[in-house]
Structure 1
Amino acid sequence: MLRRSVLVGVASLLLTAAPLVAAGETMRGTSLLLAASKDDVAAIKILLADGVQIDARDDSGATALLVATHVNGIEAARALIEAGADVNAKDKIEDSPYLYAGARGHLDILKMTLAHGADLKSINRYGGTALIPASERGHVETVRTLIEAGVDVDHVNRLGWTALLEAIILGDGGKRHQKIVDLLVKAGADVNLADGKGVTPLQHARAYGHDAIERILAVAGAH
């Protein structure tokens, strides 16, 4: 009877301890996410050495690495990536450290993700590669880096647009977008690949009054 009582007591203690352990892990994961948001490398290294799960997530599904990428925390991102953080781990809206760095022009972090297994074929919630929003937002060096990495320059997103079309339709026609169009053309982008309504890049450039871009396309054989 005494032995059974002891066993019951041990079982009860374990059941009580389990939620406490889980809560402790959650708190430590939260601490890692907070350290990442502050680009606090020292805290990150201490927490990882203490066994915190490196890919713990917040309520949005973001890992510490994605949180660091959100704030362009280069050193935090470096520490996490070198410790094995997943550069392709997506949150609930389909952003990953690689995709977000590309879209926002966080070039240093982007290069680190590319050096540590970034999936060049991964797509965001709009069905686009990292190259498409980078082209739209005028991140010239990011576009150059992604092209050199081998991202498909003619990938079409759910809107029916390529990187070239987004640079023209959503860009301002200025020097940054002119350079991006030139980079895409020289990388072999199909200058006659139309959108879902059959409108070509050249037609869009004319419609938006992007004269310099129109000339780049015309020289490349656009019609």
Structure 2
Amino acid sequence: MPIRLTRRSFLLGGLAAAVTTRLMVSGVMTASAQTSASDALFAAVARGDETAVADLLAKSVDVDARNADGATALLVATHQNRVGIARQLILAGADVNAKDRIQDSPYLYAGARGHLEILKLALAHGADLRSTNRYGGTALIPAAERGHVETVRTLIEAGVAVDHVNNLGWTALLEAILLGDGGERHVAIVQLLLEGGADPSLPDRDGVTPLRHARQRDFQPIVALLTKAGARE
């Protein structure tokens, strides 16, 4: 049966085609606009422009978009310790556990670098305490190594496992001794770890205990703390 094309069917067909074309173009424009907005977000974070970040968030920019390194805007803000911007992004729903290509996340990086305010924000917004970096360590281990006393205190209080062993076979206690300088900050960290339940005798993969490492380095205040805690050599 032949199909009769009436003026009405022709007009309706043309309208449908126009609508379809417009939706396709709109989809492309939306994706393009989102990419442009994400680029603008990273640029605003890099220059510390909190007003621009707020404007972009109000326009529903993808808060967890990634840059060429696989980092989110929140991780970039954490790298630079931009607390105000980090707060804006986290309150807008940014993932505090999103890792880049080298397995850093805002939470892990803030812990490792002692960026305490951002760390506290991450802990209050879903930080995964079991998350590990590329060395298999929790946030606590590099914090202990680098002498970030308040960061160590905060992570212990948050419930991070004090005796977690990384890929090198080291705990936070061992790293504080092996890679620390034996000074006041590392003494305080050793005390915090012991008070937090760290095993004072848990050895490295070669069977060397924290006490023996401390004696070898002549870290006498740490030797005293370990001895008081009942450490075995």
The share of aligned pairs that are identical, in percent, is: 61
What is the aligned partner in structure 1 of residue 225 from structure 2? 216
Matched, 1:111 2:120: yes
What is the aligned partner in structure 2 of residue 186 from structure 1? 195
Q: CA deviation at 1:21?
A: 3.6
CA contact (8 A) 1:37 1:73 kept: no
Q: Please point out which of 51, 56, 63 is paired with 2:60.
A: 51
Q: CA deviation at 1:33?
A: 1.5
Matched, 1:65 2:74: yes
Q: 2:28, 2:225 → 1: CA distance?
A: 63
Q: 1:8, 1:155 → 2: CA distance?
A: 62
SS in structure 2 of the partner of residue 128 of structure 1: coil
Q: CA deviation at 1:23?
A: 2.9
Superposed CA deviations along residues 70-123 of structure 1, whole A, max 9, x for unmatched, are 000000011111111111111111111111000000000101111111111111
What is the aligned partner in structure 1 of residue 185 from structure 2? 176
Q: CA deviation at 1:19?
A: 4.5
SS in structure 1 of the partner of residue 230 of structure 2: coil
Contiguous gaps of at least 5 residues in structure 1: none
SS in structure 2 of the partner of residue 91 of structure 1: coil
Matched, 1:203 2:203: no
CA contact (8 A) 1:38 1:73 kept: no
Rg larger for: 2
Q: CA deviation at 1:42?
A: 1.0
Q: 1:202, 1:138 → 2: CA distance?
A: 19
What is the aligned partner in structure 2 of residue 30 from structure 1? 39
What is the aligned partner in structure 1 of residue 95 from structure 2? 86
CA contact (8 A) 1:68 1:76 kept: yes
Distance of aligned partners of 1:207 and 1:41 in 2 relative to their CA distance in 1, 3 Å threshold: same
CA contact (8 A) 1:39 1:74 kept: no
Q: 2:194, 2:137 → 1: CA distance?
A: 18
How many residues align? The count is: 223
| Residues 77-156 of structure 1: pairs in structure 2 closer than 5 A | 77-156=86-165
CA-atom RMSD in angstroms = 1.8
